[in-house]
Chain A
């Protein structure tokens, strides 16, 4: 008897199955699946299936918690409960409404709404990994959104991308000068950046477009159409015809991961964010690294802004077009625990919740408005440490003074 037990313990497959991480992830997937059962294209009309699958997910979650992986376990539990609730709600709803909310374009819209957040959260991560808090993401994004439109209006979308990115970089350079060189409080500086961007974009929007709300006929960022995929059922409208910036966002996540965790320069960046004195001792130029990261952060956030106005917005601009998206990006970065994959996942989640908020208006415009609080509530729960713990870089937000 005992020999078979030890054999089974050594068996790598069964060891992996008993790993609480696996059960947690399976629980989360099942929880999502419980809600997914009741919506198109499967659209089960009975309440049995969502409840059954959801309960299994919740049980898996509880088991995972008892095995010590609290964050994942509670995640699976929450996914199961939410899955049941959403699944039962969906079976109560009319099929016409369901089809209007959950069609393939929901996926495309999720990517569209998530992309400014992907750029913004990766931008924030680059800056904070080097030890500079960037509360000015919103402002940098807003600058990109306006100057991107202006550039696209005057010289086509590539000029828009260049101009938007450049202006974002310049604003970040100004912020960097105050945050790094003058060692001013980084949160105060970031707040100032947000005010400045709001004022500058608003001022020049009135000045350059003479108070006309929308500059018409601007060259928008093109879509990237995959020929063999674009006409396939479901997949075509979902991912066959997405904007180039959406794909660029996917690439950005991978590149930023490799840059931060697989290259010497990434090691230096992280060293500056964790222990700048030690980094300085081994000959890393802390100021140069931080300047570089802050400027890169500004460029990336601004590119997200360019996409927001000239891609997702089809070449429109209104005052304060970002409307808190920079702060959602900040939230996504925190929720993703200052890691590229986590930031990407959180951006997708928040993008999905925004897309749902837009579509749930077929049920109730009022409830759909309230749905917008979801990213902020989730992030508040995450920083409260209810599920796991978010750990910022050790020297994040602390000005460094060379000796």
Chain B
């Protein structure tokens, strides 16, 4: 598997650190963490990530809008939504905007790594 750059987007410091700590995919390197969609877009320009974990409910710019903008900037980007919003409509909307996977909070380390690995497998 080729080396990939990961950007973590979540308004919770705890969740950002948790995802960074828990992801154990050898091919992935965390290149940045952002607390909202606007920060994510700024970091995207600086780091050009291949994979993004994206929260939905965030201040300033939410995950849905950020997904749309990231996909417009880089159509091949892989986005895993990690959200407490477990309703079908949110998942469908995120997928329609260009997300590639959905993981509900709370999650185990194993679930996180399996979800990221599946994302990478599908994009290989």
Whether both chains belong to one complex is answered with no
Residues on B close to A: CB < 8 A? none
